[in-house]
Amino acid sequence: MQLTERKMTILNAIVRNYLATGEPVGSRTISKEQDLNLSSATIRNEMADLEEMGLIMQPHTSAGRIPSDQGYRVYVDAMLKDKEQEVDHMKEILLDKEEKLEDLLKQIARQLAVNTNYATMISVPQIQRNKLKFIQVSRVDEQHLLATIVIEGNVIKNKMIPIDRQIDDATILKLNILLNTHLNGLAVEDINLGMITVMKQEAGIHSEIIGNVIDVAAESIRDDEDLEIYTSGANNIFKYPELSDNQKASELINTFEDKSDLTSLVEETLSAGGENGIQVYIGNETPVQAMKDCSVVTATYELGEGMRGTVGIIGPKRMDYDRVVNTLKDMMHQLDTLYRKK
């Protein structure tokens, strides 16, 4: 007998309901599923076929059915295949999108340096308060699980988790449902001790796995918050006598090459805001020590979905402020137009 799409849909409904309630599932319960649009009689016939195929069984004289081990296997294999295809497709889209964005940001930094004759920097946009979108735990072997974490912005992180006992597919499925039910849509700051305690209690003997997955999810979000910054036009500073002193120039060049000191500038700009997203730092106002003899004009740009980054222009204190501010405003307008069309 063939496992048709309709039979698979009913099997999925039986497994989901049984996992949620722990009670045998009847045809009337299945008929209330919004997407089915099938009569109780039709569902009973399909359930009889599923029972004959060994995918569900009747635990006692109750009219309800529960999944068999074979039924769990069919359900889990189909779920993992769907999720794997979904994640692979998402990776392809994101890789292409990420490469295009990286090229665009580098091009912006170069163009600003050419247009202004100053040094420039631009940070890769970040999502403020990254949130968890999806968690999938799957078995690699008897000693390891693979946790796949998808965070807001469709960033995917994979992490191996060691285990000290073998876990069956039904348990893995329950853990996945438990994790996504409690954590979906939450930021790290929203995951509190009380919530973790409840989840561990529900997980029973597998509470350690829940703790490990939560740690991995938090680590994935923090990793994604590491800033990446592109720079251009650092050699332009040699065009200005007041900045071309060997020591000053060396410190500035090192700052642009190392980039770690630029992080404080990006963070301050993102938190400060300012009129039209523009910030002007003159001399000692800048948070970067090597730029105390410079002026720095920064702007916050947005690419939608909460993604924000910083672009900055660094030059002498006698820079053409009007021109620099207008150049940044034009750039922000072009980015806004480009991404709103998508």
- Confidence class for position 143, pLDDT limits 50, 70, 90: confident
Number of domains observed in the structure of the chain: 3
Q: Are residues 121 and 192 in the same domain?
A: no
Q: Are residues 219 and 305 in the same domain?
A: no
Paired tokens of 218: 């938090």
For residue 169, pLDDT over 80 is answered with yes
Q: Are residues 335 and 253 in the same domain?
A: yes
Q: Residue 163 sits in which domain range? A: 131-224
Instruction: Give the per-residue pLDDT at 88.
Output: 61
Residue 145 belongs to a domain with what CATH number? 3.30.390.60
CA atoms within 13 A on the CB side of 179: 29
Instruction: Give the per-residue pLDDT at 62.
Output: 65
Residue 57 belongs to a domain with what CATH number? 1.10.10.10
Q: Which of 196, 224, 252 is the last residue of a domain?
A: 224
- Confidence class for position 313, pLDDT limits 50, 70, 90: very high
Q: Are residues 329 and 232 in the same domain?
A: yes
- Confidence class for position 338, pLDDT limits 50, 70, 90: low
Region of residue 276 (left: phi > 0; alpha: psi -120 to 50; beta: else): left
Residue 322 belongs to a domain with what CATH number? 3.30.450.40
Q: Are residues 336 and 187 in the same domain?
A: no
Q: Are residues 119 and 262 in the same domain?
A: yes
Contact at 8 Å (CB) between 300 and 324? no
Distance CA 275, CA 268 (A): 15
Instruction: Give the per-residue pLDDT at 258.
Output: 78
Q: Which of 199, 224, 249 is the last residue of a domain?
A: 224
Q: Are residues 275 and 174 in the same domain?
A: no
**Residue 283 included in any domain:** yes
Paired tokens of 253: 């060049």
- Confidence class for position 245, pLDDT limits 50, 70, 90: confident
Produce one character per residue of 3-24: b if its CB has 16 or more CB atoms within 10 Å, e if not: eeeebbbbbbbbbbbbbeeeeb
Region of residue 275 (left: phi > 0; alpha: psi -120 to 50; beta: else): beta
Taking residues 328-341, report their average pLDDT.
73
Q: Are residues 49 and 198 in the same domain?
A: no
Q: Are residues 121 and 242 in the same domain?
A: yes
Encode pLDDT of 263-300 as tens digits. 777 777 766 654 457 888 898 888 888 888 889 888 88
Angle between helices 169-183 and 69-116 (to 10 degrees): 40
Angle between helices 169-183 and 193-203 (to 10 degrees): 160
Token look-up 């910030």 returns: 279
Distance CA 76, CA 69 (A): 10
Q: What percent of the chain has pLDDT over 70?
A: 82
Q: Are residues 236 and 286 in the same domain?
A: yes
Q: Are residues 115 and 264 in the same domain?
A: yes
Instruction: Give the per-residue pLDDT at 341.
Output: 47
**Residue 73 included in any domain:** no
Q: What percent of the chain has pLDDT over 90?
A: 6
The closest alpha carbon to 325, from 290, 297, 284, belongs to 297
Lowest mean pLDDT among 24-33, 89-98, 101-110: 89-98
Contact at 8 Å (CB) between 203 and 181? no
Q: Are residues 326 and 240 in the same domain?
A: yes
Encode pLDDT of 25-78 as tens digits. 888 888 877 567 788 888 889 999 999 999 999 887 666 888 888 888 888 778
Region of residue 185 (left: phi > 0; alpha: psi -120 to 50; beta: else): left
**Residue 92 included in any domain:** no
Q: Which of 158, 192, 224 is the last residue of a domain?
A: 224
For residue 153, pLDDT over 80 is answered with no
Instruction: Count other C-beta atoms under 10 Å from residue 173's C-beta.
Output: 19
Taking residues 189-210, report their average pLDDT.
85
